[in-house]
Amino acid sequence: MKTQFGVLCAVALIALAGERSVYSQGGAGPLAFGNFSVVGQSGAPATPALTLDEIERIALAENPEIHVAVRRVAMAEAHVPTTGRRDDPQFMLRNWQVPLSKPWDLNAAQNMLMLSQSLPGPGKRDLQSSVAQADVAVVKEQLEQARLRVRVEARKAFFDLLLAQEEMRIHDQHVGIARQAVEAARIKYTVGKVPQQDVLKAQLAVTRLEEHMIRFERDAEVARVRMNTLLGRDAETPVRVQGDFGINLDLPAKSELEQVAFRSRPDLLEAQAVAEKSRKEQALAGKAYVPDFSVAGGYMLMPTGSDPRNNYMFEGSVTLPWLNRRKHDAEINEAAVKVTEQDAEVAAMRNAAAGQVGEALAGARSAQRLARMYHDSLEPQAESTLHAAVIAYENNQTDLLDLIDSQMAVIDVNLAWLQSMGEFAASMSELELAVGAPVEQKATPEEKQ
């Protein structure tokens, strides 16, 4: 029994070593970090595995939030042709001096037919159109914000699902050894070679793994539901994903990411578009002292016996804005203050963006270093400890409980390693959200070789 259990532990060590070699070699993809395959629910995969690029592409095409934002852009664009147009012409019919005794006798009345048209002051219609076009620019940036949010949330769901399946893989790798340990302890307890404490501790190790599995399955289910929601699909749709975490790639410099953020962040670009719109509104407000006009022409039919009976008329009117200075000066001042407020908001958002990039980059670098430390140091040490415990157990130099402790230490380190990779993926998603665009990672010197 002792030899059989030692062989099982050795098999586990070989599997772990193979996993480490996959990690070290990297994959053929752009991130070159060991490829994993994730199943959204336990059991054999029923659908083709999706990569991160495929998930993002589907989300950007099918997400309902993006569809709403697209319709808002279409609505804003449809509004532009309605602005900067003249008001409708007016037609007027007027009858004067109609006798009350003969209200049907229009030949005894003065009849006038008139057509009139209002004309805005020069430059006002073009400025009204430009303000509407500025609204289109604003809602387009809102659409880009929706796309960025959906892409980042899809990345988070992808890596959460990837992490949950890797955790379940680690569980499946060790649960057989833990159950064998329970059986070995029970046999030895039956013949009186070990106390009941050994059996209980071996059972505790299996229970801990079962507890882990419940949590892993929950995490996978939550990630699957969230991903299906982002993809605009039924929450119960099966999902499989495959990919890598990109731990071995170098992150760009902070200054480089800041420049990308200033050029790409949709919320910052939206604020700039709003500021540009406020400047156009200020220019329109400055036209308050440009008068508007109205022209009209008509035909007048005089009563029977009048000479001449057929006449025409023409009239024109103009507004006098100079007589209402308080109103127009207040409107001009309000527009100027709005411009300064929008410019200040843009400056504040640029400053906040730089800070958010710095914080997200610091988090990503810290998570990356932690994951590399687990892989390069802690995991080899834990595996060496388990290997030594297996040899000692086979040579009757240690007891079963020490071997179980070594195995659980390897499991804990493996899970912590996966958690650190998950934290790195989450940090990279936050960094992408702060930058407003995908973060281009560079291969390390080791990968280039």
The pLDDT, as a whole number, for residue 266 is 93
Residue type, 211: E
The pLDDT, as a whole number, for residue 34 is 36
Report DSSP letters for 357-394, one per residue: HHHHHHHHHHHHHHHHHIIIIIHHHHHHHHHHHHHHHH
The pLDDT, as a whole number, for residue 245 is 80
The pLDDT, as a whole number, for residue 76 is 94
8 Å CB contact between 76 and 139: yes
DSSP 224: H
The pLDDT, as a whole number, for residue 46 is 56
Alpha-carbon separation of residue 348 from 268, 271, 281, 412 (angstroms): 10, 10, 22, 44
- Return d(Cα 310, Cα 386) in angstroms, integer: 115
pLDDT in tens, 24-83: 333 333 333 334 443 334 444 457 788 888 999 999 999 999 999 999 999 999 999 999
The pLDDT, as a whole number, for residue 8 is 43
Cβ atoms within 10 A of the Cβ of 376, count?
11
Structural domains of the chain, count: 1
pLDDT in tens, 284-296: 999 999 999 999 9
* Burial label, 96 (beta-carbon count in 10 A; 0-12, 13-18, 19+): exposed
From the list 149, 194, 151, the residue with the least C-alpha distance to 54 is 151
* Sign (positive or negative) of CA dihedral 197, 199, 200, 205: positive
8 Å CB contact between 91 and 114: yes
- Return d(Cα 134, Cα 269) in angstroms, integer: 12
Query: Long-range pairs for 232-240 at CB < 8 Å and ≥24 separation?
Result: 232/59, 232/62, 232/63, 232/64, 233/62, 238/40, 238/41, 238/46, 238/47, 239/40, 239/47, 239/50, 239/161, 240/37, 240/38, 240/39, 240/40, 240/45, 240/46, 240/47, 240/48, 240/49, 240/50
- pLDDT-flagged residues of the chain (< 70): 1-46, 176-178, 180-181, 184-185, 188-189, 193-195, 198, 393-394, 398-401, 441-449
User: And the tokens for 160?
Assistant: 């959460």
Q: Are strands 36-39 and 240-243 parallel, antiparallel or unpaired?
A: antiparallel
Measured at the CA of 265, the angle between CA 264 and CA 267, to 5 degrees, comes to: 140
Beta bridge partners of 119: 293
8 Å CB contact between 110 and 96: yes
CATH number of the domain residue 100 falls in: 1.20.1600.10
Query: Long-range pairs for 278-282 at CB < 8 Å and ≥24 separation?
Result: 278/335, 278/338, 278/339, 278/341, 278/342, 279/339, 280/127, 280/130, 280/131, 280/134, 281/131, 281/335, 281/338, 282/332, 282/335, 282/336, 282/338, 282/339
The pLDDT, as a whole number, for residue 388 is 81
8 Å CB contact between 150 and 63: yes
Q: Which domain holds residue 10?
A: 2-448
The pLDDT, as a whole number, for residue 394 is 67
How many residues are given for the chain? 449
8 Å CB contact between 113 and 93: yes
8 Å CB contact between 177 and 8: yes
Residue type, 373: M
